Each structure stands twice: as structure tokens, then as C-alpha cells.
Amino acid sequence: MGRPEPGFRRFDGVLFDMDGTLLDTVADIAAAMNSVLVAEGLPELPTPHCCRLLGDGTAGLVTKALAWAGAAPRPMTDLIVRYRQRYACC
């Protein structure tokens, strides 16, 4: 590659936030979250409701899902790890 045209910059790469931006992944997110909730003996989160819990990252999602399910406060690290493992398989 040569020099960029005047007024243009050359980029070596571009990053995209695919989840919810370019791809509709709410069903996968809900399935992963529900696997964690069910393993904890909690009710499943309806997929449409999951959309309302998104936007604050994984920890935010797990915290909000537990609150929605009426769960008592508990350590989150293991739950976040399990969610991420399950989501990676979707």
C-alpha cells in the first residue's frame, strides 16, 4: 500500500462492537444468562425483558438479572465467569 490520498488517513484496522450494534444477539445473551439463573435455582429471564437489562456490561447484566429474579446478594465473580463461558458457546 502506498501513501494515503490527501485528506485521508490510513488505518491498520477497524473495531466494531458487534453485540446489539451490528448483530441482534439478545436471544444468545438471554440464553447464556438463563443458564446461569437456572443453575442458581432462579427463574428464567424472558428474552424480551433481557433487552432492558443491557448497556452496563456483563457485570451490570448479571447484577440486574439477579435483582429481577429476586435473588439475595451474592458474590458475582463466579456468576460472571459462568455467563461468559456460556455466552462464548452461543
Tens digit of each residue's pLDDT (9 = 90 or more) over 23-53: 788 999 999 999 999 999 999 999 999 989 9
pLDDT at 62 over 80: yes
Q: How far apart are CA 39 and CA 86, in angstroms?
A: 12
For residues 27 and 47, is the Cβ–Cβ distance under 8 A? yes
Q: What is the pLDDT of residue 74?
A: 86
Task: Please give the mean pLDDT across all residues of the chain.
Answer: 87
The CA-based angle 73-26-52, given to 5 degrees, is 55
